[in-house]
Amino acid sequence: MSTQTVNNAQAHESMFDAVLARLDAAAKLMNLSSDVLNVLRNPQREVKVSLPITMDNGKIEVFEGYRTVHSTHLGPSKGGIRYAMDVNSDEVRALAAWMSFKCAVANLPYGGAKGGIKCDPRAMSVGELERLSRAYAQSMKDVFGVNRDIPAPDMGTSGREMAWILDEFNKVTGEDSPGVITGKPIAVGGSLGRDAATGRGVMVNTLAALKKMNLKPTEVTAVVQGFGNVGSHAARLLAEKGIKIVGIGDHTASFYNSNGIDIKAALDFVAKNNRVLKGFTGATEINANELLISKCDVLVPGALQNVITIDNASKIQAKLIVEGANGPTTPEADPILNEKGIICVPDILANSGGVTVSYFEWVQNKAGYYWTEDEVNTKHDLKMEIAFEAIWNNTTTYKTSMRIAAYITALQKIEQGVKLKGAF
Ligand code: GLU
């Protein structure tokens, strides 16, 4: 069984409804004007395209591609592109709205967007993926733009796809405009520190929360679900801060070791093992469903959405959850976690490190001047700490969870943009 198909019963619910449930709750608590709420309940622009691709066997397959711009009230829209089989208009819409809130929380001059292609990248050849990425870039030529809508990697994509999309976009426009997309490889205008940024943001948020909880990193254990771009860097950076990582897992296998897992050994293992954990011998293999509910102080769901649900929330043993993934907790699970006194650093704050360094990449591209990795990391950590503090303070002001406080913090900023820019 796949490690990350935990509690799929709820994965069929509308993700955008999950966004609206939190948006409405926050709006009520902060007295957001109904006009502004109404604007934000409706994405600005939704594009769906059909992408006919010649597969390696000579046959043409038609893929569905999406891009949704949720808002541009604080600046051009920003957000990743995911390649996955469950991509659909509802999911992209939800992820686009989360990007609006995430960028506002992190104090970035951006609105939010998200894109995706319904495909199984693991089952496709490099050539097929390249043709698909280029076709997608062509079809989105009027959506993307360095000051309009700026994509980036997400699930199932990486710097490789970003370079193809950049190249295709540049060909169409006849200009070299590296800032039209972020998360690029360094050689074509990427930023140092971008690869590890989402994991780094998870680490900074974890340390900030532990401090508020009066816990020392060296005294706590953590379980990290997901060992891709987010989870592997998060596990490595948390371990570097002295946190004992007792559980890890990806879509192929999950592992637990109460004495701690050697994360460097796990990273070396996946590097030589087709990027998956299956076959790792540094810990006991456990069932996928057990990972999230196993004994630990800090839980990092760093892979898929809808994994913490009403079915398992009451069994979670962690005191702190730091959401590396987008939407890992269903709205129905939130009150269960709150009642148990579990602090949950929500996705729109916890994983905003990625888009924060994307912003730095865009700034560097525009300036044509590149920073050292230390400069990137220092600026990133500071931005994350400020964002964490603002939300923590709003939990007290509004007597609410960190999730709703994060929405309130975002809405306070976006409200100004909506009001100042006005309507027709
Ligand atoms: N896909 C990432 C996210 O969900 C990064 C987005 C970006 O860098 O624009 O935050």
Protein residue with least CA distance to atom 9, ligand 1 = 79
Query: 383 an active-site residue?
Result: no
pLDDT at 206 > cutoff 80: yes
- Reduce the DSSP state of residue 385 to 3 states and report it: helix
Q: With pLDDT > 90 as the criterion, what percentage of the chain qualifies? A: 96
From the CB of residue 375, how many other CB atoms can be counted at a distance below 10 Å? Answer: 15
Protein residue with least CA distance to atom 8, ligand 1 = 355
pLDDT score of 336: 98
Ligand 1 site, residue 356, Cβ cutoff 6 A: no
Ligand 1 site, residue 92, Cβ cutoff 6 A: no
CA of 144 from ligand 1 middle (Å) equals 15
Q: Give me the residue label for tokens 């000579």.
A: 58
- Reduce the DSSP state of residue 15 to 3 states and report it: helix
Q: What is the pTM of this model?
A: 0.95
Give the confidence band of 6 by pLDDT, cuts at 50, 70, 90.
very low
pLDDT at 107 > cutoff 50: yes
CA of 80 from ligand 1 middle (Å) equals 5
Convert 308-337 to b/e letters by CB count within 10 Å (16 or more is b): bbbebbeebebbbbbbbbbbbbbbbbbebb
pLDDT digits (tens, 9 = 90+) for 149-198: 999 999 999 999 999 999 999 999 999 999 999 999 999 999 999 999 99
Ligand 1 site, residue 182, Cβ cutoff 6 A: yes
Q: Mean pLDDT, the chain, as a whole number?
A: 96
Q: Where are the beta strands (DSSP E) in 33-75?
A: 45-54, 60-71
66: which 2 tokens?
A: 């999406």
| For residues 195-216, average pLDDT | 98
The tally of CA atoms less than 13 A away on the side-chain side of residue 78 is 31
pLDDT digits (tens, 9 = 90+) for 118-128: 999 999 999 99
Q: Give me the residue label for tokens 């891709």.
A: 228
Catalytic residue among 78, 102, 114, 118: 114
pLDDT at 310 > cutoff 90: yes
For the chain, the distance separating the N- and C-terminal CA atoms, rounded to the nearest angstrom, is 52
pLDDT digits (tens, 9 = 90+) for 389-400: 999 999 999 999
In this structure, the strands spanning 254-256 and 284-286 are: antiparallel
Give the confidence band of 2 by pLDDT, cuts at 50, 70, 90.
very low
The region that residue 229 occupies, defined by phi over 0 for left and psi between -120 and 50 for alpha, beta otherwise, is alpha
| For residues 281-303, average pLDDT | 97
Give the confidence band of 13 by pLDDT, cuts at 50, 70, 90.
confident
Q: How large is the angle between the packed helices 373-397 and 89-105, nearest 10 degrees?
A: 90
Ligand 1 site, residue 80, Cβ cutoff 6 A: yes
Q: With pLDDT > 70 as the criterion, what percentage of the chain qualifies? A: 97
| For residues 36-62, average pLDDT | 98
pLDDT at 330 > cutoff 70: yes
Using the atom order of ligand 1, give the atom closest to the CA of residue 183: 8
Domains detected in the chain: 43-177 (3.40.50.10860), 197-349 (3.40.50.720)
pLDDT score of 12: 43
Using the atom order of ligand 1, give the atom closest to the CA of residue 155: 1
Ranking 13-27, 38-52, 195-209 by mean pLDDT, the lowest is: 13-27
pLDDT digits (tens, 9 = 90+) for 257-271: 999 999 999 999 999
Burial (CB count within 10 angstroms: exposed 0-12, middle 13-18, buried 19+), residue 272? exposed
Ligand 1 site, residue 270, Cβ cutoff 6 A: no
Using the atom order of ligand 1, give the atom closest to the CA of residue 326: 4
pLDDT digits (tens, 9 = 90+) for 346-387: 999 999 999 999 999 999 999 999 999 999 999 999 999 999
| For residues 97-119, average pLDDT | 98
Ligand 1 site, residue 377, Cβ cutoff 6 A: no
pLDDT digits (tens, 9 = 90+) for 414-424: 999 999 999 89
CA of 315 from ligand 1 middle (Å) equals 30
Say if residues 394 and 26 touch (Cβ distance below 8 Å): no
pLDDT score of 52: 98
CA of 99 from ligand 1 middle (Å) equals 7
Tell me how far apart the alpha carbons of residues 147 and 362 are, in angstroms, rounded to a whole number: 10
